[in-house]
Chain A
Amino acid sequence: MRYLPLTETDRSAMLATIGVDSVDALFRDVPEQARLKGPIAGLSNHMGELAVERHLSRLAAKNVTASSVPFFIGGGAYKHHVPASVDQTLLRGEFLTSYTPYQPEVTQGTLQYLFEFQTQVALLTGMDVANASMYDGATGTAEAVLMAARINKRNKVILSGGLHPHYREVVETTCGVMGMDIRAQAPDWKNAEDLTALIDGETACIVVQTPSLFGHLRDFTALCDAAHAKGTLVIVVVTEVVSLGLLTPPGEMGADIVVCEGQSIGNGLNFGGPYVGLFATRDKYVRQMPGRLCGQTVDADGKRGFVLTLSTREQHIRREKATSNICTNSGLCALAFTIHLSLLGEQGLTKLARVNHANAVTLADKLEAVKGVKIVNDGFFNEFTVKLPKKAAKVLSKLAERGILAGVPVSRFYPEMDGLEDLLLVASTEVNSLEDMDALVRGLEEVL
């Protein structure tokens, strides 16, 4: 078997050194009745590379890829073009096949890119510090809520109706089990929500999102002031991180913690994972942060180097008193993010953001010309909500039959809720050509 270097000769020689006559003898601590005598039944035996490739390629071929059709699905994961050099560089074995940088002398490569990643995240979000990544935006948001509660020792959480429903559910699940009082607001598709009145002296934090699930853009400056006046922290979530190339960063609005889904930069759609959670906060809260942190220091010769630091927050040292249980994070996805953002640079990122917005504006203008179609949003970045004269899910399936993946029906997130059936989330990024947009317009005209 190609991944197993030991030969039968090796095995016999090694058993002799150990002083047993079979490998079975090494499993003597296993209770007799639990020792399987041979390979587990009902499963296939080993296969060559060719056979495995065939098997998996057949499965892959059953899926419709985003690049092969006019594609407008967003809803928390976005189709962007990732430069070839990103993937080629992270495929270097020294990155791909190394572990968490526990031995800094032989992992300066990983440590330095983490330091760069932390800096990039801090710059993008307008915050002081960022950690070395979380699993994804949704888990990062739950961690942010727990962190806020640690800071002000309060128990109530207000979740905006503009928050991505998966994020809401992850917060409800993970913080709910801790006994937190979670007040999720109704879906705010009209962008009418005002959370100020809900904040009281018991509120640990409020969680808001911009662009919101429905694509609305919000300035939270006044909200942050109101929250801070009550000792409440504000967590700002960004699920489309490219928007930060154009819009005011949450840090400038006064956010205390910013959590982003970083997938859009450097990472493919991958059917939902692995992605990378970005997590940033203010200096004064750094000791309450979850996750790994890389810091700068010097080596024995006085040369600059990097190490994992402030580890006493983490599970391997603090155990049940740790700020989080996270261990493995999204290291390689963070590297993809870092390389892609380095390629973009200041000019590239701002331009990419403008191209995204321009494509969305163009599409919105075109869609508005279709009879019965309304754009709900006043403002948006690269995704907006469309109100259709029919059930969005039905329209979407009909368009899918025509080879157009038009967006996400809001009812996929809120199936039981009335009044949302005719809403469709539509995203347009730099990958959408004018022909794609026209195909969507034509398709809609046909099915409506």
Chain B
Amino acid sequence: MQKYLPFRDYFAPRTQEEALQLVREQGPAGRVLAGGTDLLIAMREKGLHAECLINIKRIADLGGIGSLPDGGLRIGATTTLYEVETSAAVRRASSVLSEAAGTIGSVQIRNLGTIGGNVANASPAADTTPALLVLDAEMEILSASGTRIVAAERFFTGPGKTVMEQGEILAAIRIPPSAPGTRTAYIKFGPRQAMDIAVVGVAVALKLDGDGSCRDARVALGAVAPTPMRARRAEVALIGAIDERSVEKAAEEACGEAKPISDVRASGSYRRHLVGILLKRAVKLALAREHAAA
């Protein structure tokens, strides 16, 4: 491991315009620095090369949690994972995201790490991304030519890869208002209760009618494909009356949809097995919860 961080320049812009200009000028040699909990380690341990770091944490417009005209939530990219975990507004509107953020690393990591960094880093095992998929979240991407919005599901293109291009910055994450009667849960499986990357992560959101039947379902899986993924066949299986049979069927479908690899953390077949188990647990957990959204 190399302790010395080999970059030659550092900037801490105060405005989005300055940051965009720096990102443009520096090109591929420049790297956006948010919490640094992925970036500095990639530079020290994995030989990632960056000539210049552009710290975006001093840009007020990229931080903070606000509401959108449609009643949705806008979470600035530099909002820390700790804020996402503990914010009353996020808990109320999208408790599955708070729940997922709270499973990441340690208090120290959550105080440094940002939600924008978790998303932009695009690890297939990131914890907030399955939650963002079941919430139908959208990514607000900023460039010199303006803002574009990309659905979370289309944002990730591979391990460490997203649709963001050179010169773009992730500005915020938008969460649409959730329908009344929505119940959610995120379950992460790893050998330790804390400080471990997910072997598998499963998020669910179930929209229930007054009679308890399921009108719409979202299931998203982490760490079982090159990107976080929706399990659409499992979602279909959950619609209608939710009983043991439909949940069993959904679990089977999700296992089939997952495309896990084998690595140091787990074999592919173990991951596939876990998907079914965790899906059943997540549905059960979600159903046991009161709908929290206002």
Physical interaction between A and B: no
